[in-house]
Amino acid sequence: MKFTKSTIFHRLYVAVMVVICIGILLSIAMFNFVRNEEYRNIQSDFNLAALNRVNLIQKEIEKNIEVLRSLYRLYKSSEFVTREGFLTFCKSSILHHNDIQALEWVPRIPHSQRRDYERNAQIDGYPGFRITKREEQGKMVSVDENEEYFPVYYLEPYKGNELALGFDVSTNPVSLEALNKARDTGEMIATGRITLVQEPGSQYGFLAFVPVYRNDVITDTIEKRRENLIGFTLGVFRIRDIAVQSLAYLEATSIDIHIFDKSSSQEEQFLYTHISRFRRDIDQTITQQGAKGNDGMYASHTFHVAERKWEVRCTALPEFIEQRRTWFPLMFLYGGLLITGLLSVYLWSRISKTIQAEEFVSKLTLEIHERKRAEESMAGFAYIIEESLNEIYIFDAKTLRFIQVNKGARLNLGYSLEELSCLTPLDLKPELTPESFMKIIEPLRVGKNKKIEFTAVHQRKDGSLYDVEVHLQLSSFQSVPVFVAIILDITERKKMEGALIQSEKLKSIGTITAGISHEFNNILAVISGKTQLLKMDYEDNDKLIDELSIIDKAADDGAEISSNMLKFTKTRPDTKEYVTFDIRELIEQSIEFTMPRWMNMAQAKGINYLIDKKGMKKAPSIMCNLTEIREVFINIINNALDAMPDGGSISFCTWSKDDTLFISISDTGKGMTKEVKYHIFDPFFTTRCPEGTGLGMSMAYGIITRHGGKIEVESDLGKGSTFTLQFPTTNKKISPTVTPEPEQEINKKNLRILVVDDKEDFYHILDQFLSRKGHNVKTVDNGADAINIIKAEDFDLVLSDLGMPDVNGYELAKAINKLKRRPKIGIITGWTLDLKRFDEEERKVDFILTKPFKNLELTRHINELFGADSK
């Protein structure tokens, strides 16, 4: 293509103008560069000046702290330090440290010695000495009576610090916190900011405590330190005095200095601001916050002061920068513009030959830069994928061979990358056939789905298997269609889900078995009781007696089978299965076990469940059966979830007192009525009909009491429920109740006996047996009528069933125990779960028999209650 002269001229003109613009821009850039370099030099000067001031403040504090340490060494090397010796030592020390407000001796004074100490101080020349505290109004008054006191007893200098003498530092919360920490750690501890007792103004100070213990004992534990503490050496410092003293010999400059205590709360961090004399105005916000300088020139340094973290912030005033500016940046600007003009004239004749080369170089530079950025980005992503804890696979969409497999997958599988490059996903998933796998990924191939998820089993190189969850999507890698798979190892989740399902199965079996056992025992009681009566009637007929004995033995065998079924389904271990365990770990396990349920409920209903474990403090371990205690927690958590159908929170707290461990589990559910709360631990009591069995909390009650513990519930309607569990921190063996085998007949004595049972066949058997033995027997089939009869008539003994409609055996025992003339109480029940609720004082009974039983067992109990002449 041919260019006209005008076209060439135009191109040259444009090219020269571009050069001029570039020259101007370069000149401006050079101006900015030099100006920025100048600013960096100013910044460096500022940083050096700031660091110098910080170091001076830190060294001044350290020198003052060292004086306090020397006072501590005086006490460590002396059996007793007199007031005169203290004053002599302190005067020489303070002489060279004008910024020390005071050095003090704070003894630990028991209440029994308070008057002696006050009297001795008055004798030493302080007639008005007393142990004081400061009221909110600032008035100094005598301190109230306490177990011990920590007053300022020795003080130097006295002048200017008169109010501090006798002041009990433990009455100030800030001082008390530092004092206790110093006592327990044996280290020097500083307080946060305080307003000194002797402070006439509003500036802040701080105290530093050094604990002094008896010299002849070893204090390697907190208990020994507390026991052998005799007092504290105490340094009193005004922060302003320290800052002024440390900066006194420095040349004044335009820098503000702010001091903060980072160990305190946000509101209490500010300590002091040293305002530069060059500042034209003082902003209170700057004074309190230590804000950055106007040009952002700001430096911050931290150091430790007696176990507290202090921060010194330095900010430059605008004058600091203005005083250090030069004319060099302008020189570079004007020089650059001059050179640009000369270069433009020269390039006017040369530009036509170089314009194409410049364009080429520009394009090449841009391409190199973009390629470098792309390579760096790819390298970063590759590193993230390689180091991911999840397994990540990239395999060819056509051949299915692995292209890339990250380190997490290689380590778990045991294969190298070279070995995996020869394999496909089918080699890792033995249960999948090529057809089934292709069917799974078909929605991705045809674009129906963007990603798919499924579970499978992976096989490692050593042949071991583990469950995985696969997240698969179609992508491209180096222009090749690939599948990208992210694999999650769900082995532990599968185990927990299986354990939870098994737990629910066992719970269901136990529920059915317990109900069958209860009814079965009632039937066996009738068979056994009737057989025993027949044997009494036909005791001379040996053949019939033998036949009846067979029936009686069969009833005993049935009772044994019922007992064994309950033992199998309830998992009732011996105490040899008890182990020492941290209760918090059991709570964590229970939460994990129930997680699938409450997470599924939350997702299905679109609600939230919050598990709050912040109250789970460190507590002593207990001796327990892990399976049983975990079952208790799971049952309570499930009940809490049932009580919160619209979501809510479950909170766990643990603490200990003396030899008892406490656990509280609270929910924000709908709560309980008083009646429900009263019956919550009764067998077969439930509010979730028909799906509830009424056995969960009864079993929990039995498990906890078998462990020597207690369980209580607090609840109000609409306010949620709180279960509080107690366990001994050392296992106490619980001896099972063993019914002694009687060896005698009932001796003759006429007793009035009331039999209460809702089973007519059974109370007729008891009536016949006791009547034959000469007793006056009355029967009733419900607890409510029994209470009315007992109030109207006198009885020597009441024999009652446990599970009855309206009024059960627990309530009947409670009502009888309230009577002024209380008959003896015996419980006869087919219920074989834990009956320790009768150990409570208000439900106390005299004996318990479980159905079926031998009449001789009843005879033994009656003889023990009414003496040798009873029937």
38 assigned to some structural domain = no
Domain final position from 321, 342, 370: 321
Q: What pLDDT shows up at residue 845?
A: 87
Domain final position from 246, 277, 305: 246
Contacts of 673 (CB under 8 A, 6+ apart): 717
Residues 769 and 794 in one domain: yes
Residues 696 and 822 in one domain: no
Bridge partners of 233? 105, 210
pLDDT higher than 50, residue 593: yes
119 assigned to some structural domain = yes
pLDDT in tens, 262-299: 999 998 899 989 888 777 665 545 555 554 444 568 88
Residues 798 and 673 in one domain: no
On average, the pLDDT of the chain sits at 81
Mean pLDDT across the stretch 52-60?
90
pLDDT higher than 90, residue 167: yes
pLDDT higher than 60, residue 547: yes
Residues 110 and 203 in one domain: yes
Residues 178 and 263 in one domain: no
pLDDT higher than 90, residue 312: yes
27 assigned to some structural domain = no
* pTM for the model: 0.40
Residues 235 and 132 in one domain: yes
Q: What pLDDT shows up at residue 748?
A: 46
**Helix, strand, or coil (residue 861):** helix
> Residue 14 is encoded by which pair of tokens?
């444009």
871 assigned to some structural domain = no
Q: What pLDDT shows up at residue 212?
A: 94
Core vs surface per residue 244-268: b (16+ CB within 10 A) or e: ebbbeeeeebbbbbbbbbebbeeee
Ramachandran angles phi, psi of 627, nearest 5°: -65, -45
336 assigned to some structural domain = no
- CATH number, domain containing residue 434: 3.30.450.20
**Helix, strand, or coil (residue 160):** coil
548 assigned to some structural domain = no
Residues 709 and 593 in one domain: yes
544 assigned to some structural domain = no
10 assigned to some structural domain = no
Residues 313 and 449 in one domain: no
Residues 166 and 266 in one domain: no
Residues 768 and 710 in one domain: no
Q: Which amino acid is at 795?
A: F
Residues 715 and 611 in one domain: yes
Residues 265 and 394 in one domain: no
* Contact of 599 with 671, CB cutoff 8 Å: no
Domain range for residue 656?
Answer: 579-728
pLDDT higher than 90, residue 148: yes
Number of domains in the chain: 5
Domain final position from 206, 222, 246: 246
- CATH number, domain containing residue 233: 3.30.450.350
Residue 322 CA: distances (Å) to CA of 39, 283, 316, 325, 423:
10, 20, 11, 5, 71
pLDDT in tens, 729-777: 864 444 333 333 434 454 446 899 999 988 888 888 888 888 888 889 8
Q: Which amino acid is at 267?
A: E
